[in-house]
Amino acid sequence: MQYTKLGRTGLKVSRLCLGTMNFGPLTTEPDSFAIMDRALEHGINFFDTANVYGWKKGEGATEQIIGRWFAQGGNRREKVVLATKVYGDMGDWPNQSRLSALHLRHACDESLRRLKTDYLDLYQMHHVHRETPWEEIWQAMEVLVQQGKILYVGSSNFAGWHIVQANEIAKSRNFLGLVSEQSIYHLMNRHIEREVIPACQAYGLGIIPWSPLAGGLLGGVIEKAKEGRRASEGIQKTLEQNREKIEGWENLCRDMGEKPADVALAWMLQNPAITAPIIGPRTLEQLDGSLRTLEIKLSEEINKKIDELFPGYRTAPEDYAW
């Protein structure tokens, strides 16, 4: 396994991050345990979850599965850099969601209880909350750090200017601020290249891309069109809208002798701004197969062909102005 620092911190994380969103809804608890054990065997030490995963309001089902896995012992918790998220609805009362100081305090304690741990390595805001002032958010996060309940703070789904605003106010409070941004990023959605990636690079945030395979569209969808999520109406509709591009993509990967999913992740990992894309295996076989991506090196010619299929963006403002 390859490791890198998370943004400007001294924290070392694996170049692949284990996403756990499938644990519970699509992957049974025993299979989830097996996947997490295998991840550690492969040297994957970076696990990502969220208090809303499991999709039963207020239950935090996925966090509970991870907590029961930690409770088995064997230094499982000590080996894992654990990231969870806060923002979504965890109940029907007014203060059981978003980023008020009250909800941050309560949500953190509840995540710790479900995860059966006394600290979180990375506490991520799942979305920006425009109604809560940054002074309130940072004061609450500072208290959680002082109490030893969290070590680092990250964001998810932030615009570039949100990252700037958040970290400038954190700096004025002599607080470390955001150290990571978790954003959607893949070959079919490269919008963050305009402003989010430059903001993260300027402020020393590690980027943790979610949905790096575009929900399976970049993972050999034509060949496996009837399997799993690929058979869903939404994926099939998007496939038909982009069939020419995806056929070109799969043909390119076939000519390389590599699996499309592995090439898509390798394309992402060559970008120095990227810390670790999130992989969300439903099976051990999917997890084992993802390690091939760490061995793939893309030539200038291959990168050019990829950009022709999926054009990206230049840094703003040059992307849309002189």
Catalytic: 53? Answer: yes
In the chain the domains, ranked by start, together with CATH numbers, are: 3-309 (3.20.20.100)
DSSP 129-174: -TTS-HHHHHHHHHHHHHTTSEEEEEEES--HHHHHHHHHHHHHTT
One-letter amino acid at 274 equals: I
pLDDT category at 231 given cuts 50, 70, 90 is low
Q: What's 205's DSSP letter? A: P
% of the chain at pLDDT higher than 70: 97
Distance (Å, whole) CA 88 – CA 170: 23
Q: How many CB atoms lie within 10 A of CB 285?
A: 9
Q: Per residue in 179-209, pLDDT tens?
A: 999 999 999 999 999 999 999 999 999 999 9
Q: Reduce the DSSP state of residue 70 to 3 states and report it.
A: helix
Distance (Å, whole) CA 295 – CA 282: 22
Q: Per residue in 151-181, pLDDT tens?
A: 999 999 999 999 999 999 999 999 999 999 9
pLDDT category at 10 given cuts 50, 70, 90 is very high
pTM of the model: 0.95
Q: How far are the Cα atoms of 5, 174, 317 from residue 179, in angstroms, in the given order?
A: 10, 14, 24
Q: Which of 53, 87, 123, 203 is catalytic?
A: 53
